A and B are shown apart, each in its own frame.
Chain A
Amino acid sequence: MLTFTIRRLILAVPTLLFISLVIFLLLELAPGDPMAQVPLTVPPEVKEKMRLALGLGEPVHIRFWKWLVQFFWIEPQVLLDHYFGTTFSEGDLRVISWQTRSPVMDIVVQRLPQTLWVVGTAYVVAILIALPIGIYSAYRQYSWFDQMGTFVSMVGFSVPPFFSGVLVIVIFSVQLGWFPSIYDTTLVVDSWDSFVKQLQQMIMPVMVLALQITAQLSRFMRASMLDNLNQDYVRTARAKGLSEYIVVMVHVLRNSMIPVVTVIALGIPSIFGGAIITEQVFKVNGIGQLLIGAIQANDLPMVQTLTFIFAVLIVLFNLIADVLYGILDPRIRYD
């Protein structure tokens, strides 16, 4: 198991390097001009100087190398300095955003909490809803509850978040006036009232996101339970007189959770980056909105860094899911 993990970790390095190269080249090949927003009255030679100041004068491979050094060598040092008060990174150039002229990672760190709160809560809520639904609809297969669950998850698959989000805004904040339609990130939770406010503004984005995740997870849970419910060991457990609750909730559930846990792990990268549309609908200024803004402003270092962070998370959680699968299921041996 350990050798497998180490081998996968080592294999992840070239994968990630290659992905970062793909992203870099995509941005490089694109015909967009970062100077397009500069007024036409600025003379060409000044424009050329501005280009050089942004670091655009160098050839492609040197710029790629510089980005790699900044991202993998200097940024971790900044993190160390931040936590331990050391001065490793003094005087080093960090990845600078073209929009704000401040380090990209600082902005990302500012935006991350909002995304984590909203999307993370949605993920937890979705898991808490999806697992019981999946278990019960598998246990009573083809009952009305199961049919209902199938239909609801089909709807959850089909209704895109930009419609369900707008729909709940129309119903709950326009018609009924229960919840605010815009997420207020400046709200400080320090009293009961502000806590209630926070809950009110979180409830709609969280539920919209949770509907989608629930739809997927409950189907997985159901299929996995169905696979296990017909196995011989279930009959044995019933035959030796165990109560139905123990049979289902202990014997079957534990075995059915194996694939579901890996699916949950595979979905975690989307907590950090996937809620782009929902954040846009509810005006949550998280990572997703940061990316949209950066793309619209042609802020290439920001786009490059954000996209690469998403890629790192996807690769990392793929690896974690594989390792988890091996740990949870003793039948699977990778060596």
Chain B
Amino acid sequence: MTDAAKQEPLQHSNAQQEADRPTRSQWRDVWDQFKSHRGALAGGMLFLLICVGVIFGPLVYWNDAQYLPTGRDFIKLRDMRPVYHGLWDPSAKMNWAYPLGTDNLGRDTLARLMFGGRVSLAVGIAAMVLALLLGSLVGVLSGYFKKLDGLLMRLTDLFLALPLLPMILVAAVLFRESLSKSIGPEGGVFVLIVCLIGITSWMPTARIVRGDVLAIKEREFVLAARSIGTKPGKIISRHILPNVLSPIMVSATLGIATAIITESALSFLGFGFPPDFPTWGRLLNDAVDRMTLFPERVLWPGILISLTVLSVNYLGDGLRDALDPRIRGR
């Protein structure tokens, strides 16, 4: 750039401008690129909105998700339709205090949706973190230490060859009782599902990280670090990990999406959380039996699952573009 700038005055002025501009951090560049991807921006906003609604919604909303009416209340409150239903059927049973209606036991749908969203998102994020930790660990170890490479990559291949959904289903049934006994029914199932999803979805991350570590390990700055006597642990944490952060971040976002879908699928098949503990998949499963009469009970959890996953996928797409320096700035 500087050679060319000396020769041509036009380019010189360009270079001058470049130099005059205030220095920008890498993350500022990433943000600028991310902003230009409209889908990703919309996805990010939507995901944030869903998270905020699910976390702070129950604090301001007046109905309790766990409240189970009895006696006359039960008859009065059960099977309420959502308020928008009045647009085409004014005679339907509805109440403005229950905006999305109630289920066949008189529990408020909106409150349960928000509570279920908390659980679904918590499972998704926790499982993603576990998968990411495992994947990065295996990836970095097998990329950096040649001795471990063969063994760890065979292990990854082995896990990829396992029929994962059947195995998750089997393990979810078989280990439920003992974990429920030791930690409690909800906590036990939470730990079980998070572990199962985490243990079965680290392989893609491990492969990507390994590839990147293999390439970065040979670069000059790592050689320089090694030549001044840096220990392998420090090289990994100070020089290699920051450079493989972008693929890890991308697979983190995509990991949330798959984890939410897997958890919902488990709950849908009846292998997930106990019935009185709502998650989006569970709500969908409960509503399927009566979907001819109350289609809205199927629609809302389904739409929420789909929107969350869609927004996370767009977010991941945008992040991938934003974090890739070859695309950035074009």
| A-to-B contact residues, CB < 8 Å | 15, 18-19, 22-23, 26-27, 30-32, 154-155, 157-160, 162-163, 166-167, 169-170, 174, 269, 273-274, 276-277, 280, 291-292, 295-296, 298, 303, 306-307, 310-311, 314-315, 318
Q: Which residue of chain B is the closest to A307 with respect to CB atoms? A: B166
Q: How distant is A284 from chain B, measured CB to nearest CB, in Å?
A: 14
B163, A314: Cβ atoms closer than 8 Å: yes
When distances are taken between beta carbons in the complex, the residues of chain A under 8 Å from B162 are: 19, 22, 311, 314
When distances are taken between beta carbons in the complex, the residues of chain A under 8 Å from B306 are: 155, 158-160, 163
Rounded to whole angstroms, the CA-CA distance of A18 and B171 in the bound complex is 18
Chain B 131-181 residues near chain A, CB threshold 8 A: 157-158, 161-163, 165-167, 169-171, 173-175, 177-178
B190 within 8 A of A: no
B305 within 8 A of A: yes
Q: How distant is B133 from chain A, measured CB to nearest CB, in Å?
A: 22
B287-330, CB under 8 A of A: which get 1 and which 0?
Answer: 01001100100110011011001100110010000000000000
Q: How distant is A331 from chain B, measured CB to nearest CB, in Å?
A: 20
Q: How distant is A289 from chain B, measured CB to nearest CB, in Å?
A: 10
B163, A167: Cβ atoms closer than 8 Å: no
If A18-B158, A295-B170, A310-B166 touch, does A280 touch B269 (CB 8 Å cutoff)? yes
Binding site secondary structure of chain A = helix
When distances are taken between beta carbons in the complex, the residues of chain A under 8 Å from B314 are: 154
If A26-B170, A31-B174, A154-B310 touch, does A160 touch B265 (CB 8 Å cutoff)? yes
Rounded to whole angstroms, the CA-CA distance of A155 and B306 in the bound complex is 8
B268 within 8 A of A: yes
If A273-B166, A307-B166 touch, does A314 touch B291 (CB 8 Å cutoff)? no
**What 8 A-B pairs have minimum CB-CB distances, sorted nearest first?**
A30-B174, A310-B163, A163-B302, A158-B310, A158-B309, A162-B268, A159-B306, A31-B178
When distances are taken between beta carbons in the complex, the residues of chain A under 8 Å from B158 are: 15, 18-19, 22
Q: How distant is B259 from chain A, measured CB to nearest CB, in Å?
A: 12
Rounded to whole angstroms, the CA-CA distance of A23 and B162 in the bound complex is 9
B261 within 8 A of A: yes
When distances are taken between beta carbons in the complex, the residues of chain A under 8 Å from B310 are: 154-155, 157-159
Q: Which among B161, B163, B288 has the greatest number of chain A C-beta atoms within 10 A?
A: B163
If A166-B298, A307-B167 touch, does A157 touch B313 (CB 8 Å cutoff)? yes
B165, A166: Cβ atoms closer than 8 Å: no
Rounded to whole angstroms, the CA-CA distance of A23 and B166 in the bound complex is 10
Q: Which among A18, A30, A292 has the greatest number of chain B C-beta atoms within 10 A?
A: A30
When distances are taken between beta carbons in the complex, the residues of chain B under 8 Å from A292 are: 169, 269
Rounded to whole angstroms, the CA-CA distance of A30 and B175 in the bound complex is 6
A158, B313: Cβ atoms closer than 8 Å: yes
When distances are taken between beta carbons in the complex, the residues of chain B under 8 Å from A307 are: 163, 166-167, 170
Rounded to whole angstroms, the CA-CA distance of A159 and B270 in the bound complex is 19
Rounded to whole angstroms, the CA-CA distance of A26 and B173 in the bound complex is 11
Q: How distant is B192 from chain A, measured CB to nearest CB, in Å?
A: 12
Q: Which residue of chain A is the closest to B173 with respect to CB atoms? A: A295
Q: How distant is A144 from chain B, measured CB to nearest CB, in Å?
A: 15
B161, A154: Cβ atoms closer than 8 Å: no
Rounded to whole angstroms, the CA-CA distance of A288 and B162 in the bound complex is 16
If A15-B158, A170-B291 touch, does A274 touch B165 (CB 8 Å cutoff)? yes
Q: How distant is A318 from chain B, measured CB to nearest CB, in Å?
A: 7
A26, B313: Cβ atoms closer than 8 Å: no
A306, B166: Cβ atoms closer than 8 Å: yes
A27, A170, A295: the one within 8 Å of B295 (CB): A170
Q: How distant is A46 from chain B, measured CB to nearest CB, in Å?
A: 23
Rounded to whole angstroms, the CA-CA distance of A222 and B167 in the bound complex is 33
Q: How distant is A179 from chain B, measured CB to nearest CB, in Å?
A: 14
Chain B 247-303 residues near chain A, CB threshold 8 A: 257, 261, 264-265, 268-271, 281, 284-285, 288, 291-292, 295, 298-299, 302-303
B261, A276: Cβ atoms closer than 8 Å: no
Known: A22-B162, A31-B174. 4 other contacts (CB 8 A): A31-B175, A31-B177, A277-B268, A306-B166
A154, A162, A310: the one within 8 Å of B313 (CB): A154
Rounded to whole angstroms, the CA-CA distance of A148 and B246 in the bound complex is 28
B161, A15: Cβ atoms closer than 8 Å: yes
B284, A163: Cβ atoms closer than 8 Å: yes
When distances are taken between beta carbons in the complex, the residues of chain A under 8 Å from B163 are: 269, 273, 307, 310-311, 314
B305, A160: Cβ atoms closer than 8 Å: yes
When distances are taken between beta carbons in the complex, the residues of chain A under 8 Å from B305 are: 160, 163
B264, A174: Cβ atoms closer than 8 Å: no
Listed A/B pairs (8) with beta-carbon separation below 8 Å? A15-B158, A30-B171, A31-B177, A157-B310, A157-B313, A158-B309, A160-B305, A277-B265
A314, B161: Cβ atoms closer than 8 Å: yes
B166, A26: Cβ atoms closer than 8 Å: no
B165, B167, B284, B302: the one within 8 Å of A23 (CB): B167
Q: How distant is A262 from chain B, measured CB to nearest CB, in Å?
A: 15
When distances are taken between beta carbons in the complex, the residues of chain B under 8 Å from A18 are: 158
When distances are taken between beta carbons in the complex, the residues of chain B under 8 Å from A295 are: 169-170, 173, 271
Rounded to whole angstroms, the CA-CA distance of A179 and B221 in the bound complex is 64
Q: How distant is A169 from chain B, measured CB to nearest CB, in Å?
A: 7
Chain B 161-214 residues near chain A, CB threshold 8 A: 161-163, 165-167, 169-171, 173-175, 177-178
Q: Which residue of chain B is the closest to A167 with respect to CB atoms? A: B302
A174, B292: Cβ atoms closer than 8 Å: yes
When distances are taken between beta carbons in the complex, the residues of chain A under 8 Å from B166 are: 273, 276, 291, 303, 306-307, 310
